[in-house]
Structure 1
Amino acid sequence: MNSDVEIAGDPLALPHLLPEPSAHPGTVAGYAELIGELAADRASWAPLVRYDPTLRWYHRLRTGPGYEVWLLSWLPGQGSGRHDHGRSCGVFGVLEGELTEHGGGGSRVLGSGTLRVFAPGYVHEVVNDGLEPVVSAHVYAPGLTEMPMHCSVGPGTARDSRRDVPA
């Protein structure tokens, strides 16, 4: 016997000794991976999507310890309004179509597969400026309990009202 592997055996051959992988993500990278998995599994979310011409449609896909996942649809012209996510941080990604995000000092177009990470207090507005419907997925940690709305008042922003709608 010349090595630890010869003495103890191959640790990879003993899966019962390894910790079980978590069924739930617990990091920003894990949340991003979750959105990537959703994007790759269109059959799991596409039948759930609805389009509402009067309001943005949203559906909570799942919850886990300390997070929740929402599916949103956006018809042309629909937007979130300028808001933050209270004490929640998160990741959102475009699953299908193209959204425009205004915030963080500028505007950016987010196409399918694009992910955005945000911290608590990050103020932005998301809009479907295109001609086609869009579907996005959003992970909030902790789960979204408030969405303070902001209005533009010159160089800064001021809180306007509170809503409980994911964006």
Structure 2
Amino acid sequence: MPQRVSTPAPSSASVPPSPPLPAVAGRSGGSSAPTAADLLDFVRRTAADTELIDSLPLDPEGRTWVRLDGPGGSEAWLIGWAPGTGTGWHDHAESYGAFTTARGTLKENSLAVRLPASGWKTLELADGVDRERRLTAGRARAFGQHHVHEVLNESRETHAVSVHAYYPPLPLLRRFSRSGAVLRLEQVERPEDWQ
């Protein structure tokens, strides 16, 4: 019998609490982790770099990606999305992050609920936990730890390109399948699986 998840998560419009700002020009204090706002600023600035965006090789049938140097030791990626491609349902474990669309339009389906970190294989989701947003070029969003979502390029003709950053660097990725209100843990990937 699936466990039932019904506790709503904080509003997706809010940025979760995050560590102090890192030491950079104009800031005082020692070196520390980037905040969600720092990651959001990074993905926006990177997406505005048209030379970098143009340099990403695009595959006509699949996603392509290049690892970037993120701020304060974060993990960052430039990702190309062929028409009709997507990530499937997943989370980023203990990492918080941000992403923006540099070209095209991406759709994000997410769950406004915090899932248990471990100890389950199947969950029944309560009504009202689904969220949907479209991120056209220049639109960005930040998210907290254990954020469950899928990202899709629903265009049938146009590639999309996006920039993503996570802190701490992704320790793992949990992949899920979904059938109606039932979410099932299918796979746990480690960094060596996508390097």
TM-score (norm 2): 0.67
What is the deviation of 1:30?
Answer: 1.2
Report the counterpart of residue 4 of structure 1 in structure 2: none
What is the deviation of 1:51?
Answer: 1.5
**Corresponding position: 1:143 with 2:190:** no
What is the deviation of 1:150?
Answer: 0.6
Match of 1:59 among 63, 66, 72: 66
Structure whose residues are more often helix by fraction: 1
After superposition, where does 1:1-167 map in structure 2 within 5 Å? 20-21=25-26, 26-47=34-55, 49-104=56-111, 105-130=130-155, 131-163=157-189, 164-165=193-194
CA distance change for structure 1 residues 149 and 155 in 2, over 3 Å: closer, same or farther? same
- Supply the distance in 2 between the matched residues of 1:64 and 1:106 (Cα, whole angstroms): 29
- Supply the distance in 1 between the matched residues of 2:194 and 2:106 (Cα, whole angstroms): 18
CA distance change for structure 1 residues 162 and 100 in 2, over 3 Å: closer, same or farther? same
What is the deviation of 1:35?
Answer: 1.4
What is the deviation of 1:80?
Answer: 0.4
Q: Is the 8 A contact 1:103 1:124 kept in 2?
A: yes
Moved more, 117-126 or 35-44: 35-44
User: Which amino acid counterpart does residue 34 of structure 1 have in structure 2?
Assistant: F
User: Which amino acid counterpart does residue 28 of structure 1 have in structure 2?
Assistant: A
- Supply the distance in 1 between the matched residues of 2:45 and 2:77 (Cα, whole angstroms): 14
What is the deviation of 1:138?
Answer: 0.2
Report the 3-state secondary structure (helix = DSSP H, G, I; strand = E; otherwise coil) of the residue aligned with 2:79. strand
CA distance change for structure 1 residues 20 and 93 in 2, over 3 Å: closer, same or farther? closer
- Supply the distance in 2 between the matched residues of 1:69 and 1:96 (Cα, whole angstroms): 17
- Supply the distance in 1 between the matched residues of 2:93 and 2:62 (Cα, whole angstroms): 22
What is the deviation of 1:107?
Answer: 2.1
Q: Which has the larger radius of gyration?
A: 1
User: Which amino acid counterpart does residue 84 of structure 1 have in structure 2?
Assistant: D
User: Which amino acid counterpart does residue 101 of structure 1 have in structure 2?
Assistant: E
Report the counterpart of residue 3 of structure 1 in structure 2: none
Unaligned segments of structure 1, at least 5 residues? 1-18
Report the counterpart of residue 16 of structure 1 in structure 2: none
CA distance change for structure 1 residues 117 and 63 in 2, over 3 Å: closer, same or farther? closer
- Supply the distance in 2 between the matched residues of 1:95 and 1:66 (Cα, whole angstroms): 22
Q: CA RMSD in A?
A: 2.4
Give deviations 1:100-146, integer Å, cap 9, x for gaps: 11123132211011112111211111110012000000000011231
User: Which amino acid counterpart does residue 90 of structure 2 have in structure 1?
Assistant: H
Q: Which has the higher contact order (CA 8 A, sep 6+)?
A: 2
Q: Is the 8 A contact 2:42 2:71 kept in 1?
A: no
